[in-house]
Amino acid sequence: MKTLINKTGLVLIFFSLAINLFSQDKVKLYDPSLDGLKQIKEAVSKAKSQGKHVLIQYGGNWCSWCIKFDAFCKADTSITKVINTSFIPVKLNYSPENKNEAANSYLGNPVRFGFPVFIIVDGNGKVLHIQDSALLEEGKGYNQQKVLGFFRNWTASAIIPVKTK
């Protein structure tokens, strides 16, 4: 009888833990209700006025690598600093309910690289670079030096030619 009560108790604990795990909100980095082209145009306007570039992270809430990248960047103050000082960041949604096809077309079809994919756009709305995120990966995560190198190489100040006398 004691064994039956212990087993029943364990089963109840297991089910309550399972319910709690599945009822927790999933990470929501991307908003499927937003118009991606409008997001980009607003970011380009800000970038132009602030002398920055736009950094677009194109992906979805369903994408584990997108979520990993976001957490990786937030956990590293040197990466966060480069993003905040040099870019206007945009999270562009790609999901069954909103693939943002007009934005994808405007950006040169970056979805061909998979997700997440990063796009650098200047303050005039010109696409400067599309970065395949696989090149920034290492093992089951991302490589800090590769990510920092990518960001630093695509800041507005990095691509302006140095004037010589």
Residue 147 lies in a domain: yes
Give the C-alpha separation, 97 to 42, whole Å: 22
Is 26 within a domain?
no
DSSP secondary structure of 24-66: SPPP--S-TTS-HHHHHHHHHHHHHHHT-EEEEEEE-TT-HHH
Q: Look at residue 47 and tell me if it is in a domain.
A: yes
Distance CA 67, CA 72 (A): 8
Note whether residue 66 is domain-resident. Answer: yes
- Parent domain of 116: 36-156
DSSP 8-class letter at 114? -
Round to whole Å and give the CA distance between 107 and 83: 20
User: How many domains does the chain divide into?
Assistant: 1
Instruction: Determine, yes or no, domain membership for 24.
Output: no
| Model pLDDT for residues 41-100, shown as the tens digit of each residue | 999 999 999 999 999 999 999 999 999 999 999 999 999 999 999 999 999 999 999 999
pTM of the entire predicted model: 0.83
Q: Determine, yes or no, domain membership for 7.
A: no
State the pLDDT confidence band at 2, using cuts at 50, 70 and 90: low
CATH of the domain at 128: 3.40.30.10
